[in-house]
Amino acid sequence: MPNILAIETSSELASCALLAGDNVFVRASSGVRTHSQSVLPMVQELLQESGLALAQLDAVAFGAGPGSFTGVRTACGVAQGLAYGAGLPVLPMVTLEAMAEACRARSGAHEVLAVLDARMGEVYWAQYRHENGAWREVAAPALSAPQDVAPVAAAGLQACGNGFSAYPEAFADQPYAAGALADIVPHARELAVLAPGALASGQGVPAAQAQPIYLRNKVAYTSAERQAINAAKAAGNDK
């Protein structure tokens, strides 16, 4: 089993995990504003607890997105810095797949719909199927309004993610939302669990080539644009 450090800061929860043999050491800290300050101390604690030095690792994984624009850049930057200094490959991991893995661990489901709050009245979502010991995309990661989430019909489909708690009205009439595990967000623990497979399949890249996954073309709006968006939404609600 490889030794892999995982970093995840794409949501309101910052987490780090270290896969060391059969053990997974974990740290987490909530509060988006503290992500950039909390990651490196958590990494240092994990290395001390595991008894490993950074140079003894086989790779550094990070939650590449989709997720918070600032958050995925933070994780990418920290992973790049650590990996570059130690001469390690970087594993960009999909946050929604990590959520699917958390859902499977809790519920035993092999068909999972992961929905992550994207703010601005939108969600990131994807659908996965676990077969032959790995996850396969049924519906690729996408950004949409909550009411436009359209999973493929599948027996035993289990939904998860904080998108359901962020927009409960939008999902109220959707059968797939019944019993959704709405407290699940991306976590480094699942990244660490999935990372050996990603490393074995050749998904590691040099530190300089690691990139976040962006699904939203524009992450910031001017005041005039926000007013126009809000006016369009209001007009739509009046129809």
**pLDDT, tens digit, for every residue of 50-80?**
999 999 999 999 999 999 999 999 999 999 9
Residue 213, pLDDT > 80, answer: yes
Round to whole Å and give the CA distance between 106 and 99: 11
Considering the domain delimited by 4-94+186-209, tell me its CATH architecture.
2-Layer Sandwich (3.30)
- Strand-pairing partners, residue 127, are 113, 139
Q: Is pLDDT above 80 for 14?
A: yes
Question: What CATH class is the domain 96-177?
Answer: alpha beta
Question: What's the pLDDT score for residue 35?
Answer: 73
State the pLDDT at residue 220: 45
Q: What is the pLDDT of residue 216?
A: 82
Residue 217: what pLDDT? 65
Q: Residue 222: its pLDDT value, please? A: 46
Q: Is the pLDDT of residue 120 over 80?
A: yes
pTM of the model: 0.89
* pLDDT tens for each residue of 109-119: 999 999 999 99
Closest by alpha carbon to 149, among 177, 130, 129? 177
Q: Report the chain's terminal Cα–Cα distance, integer Å.
A: 58
pLDDT averaged over every residue in the chain = 91
Strands (E), the chain: 4-8, 13-20, 23-30, 59-65, 90-94, 111-119, 122-131, 134-144, 157-160
Q: Could you tell me which of 21, 24, 32, 23 has the C-alpha nearest to residue 8?
A: 32
* pLDDT value at 32 more than 70: no
pLDDT score of 198 more than 60: yes
pLDDT of residue 230: 60
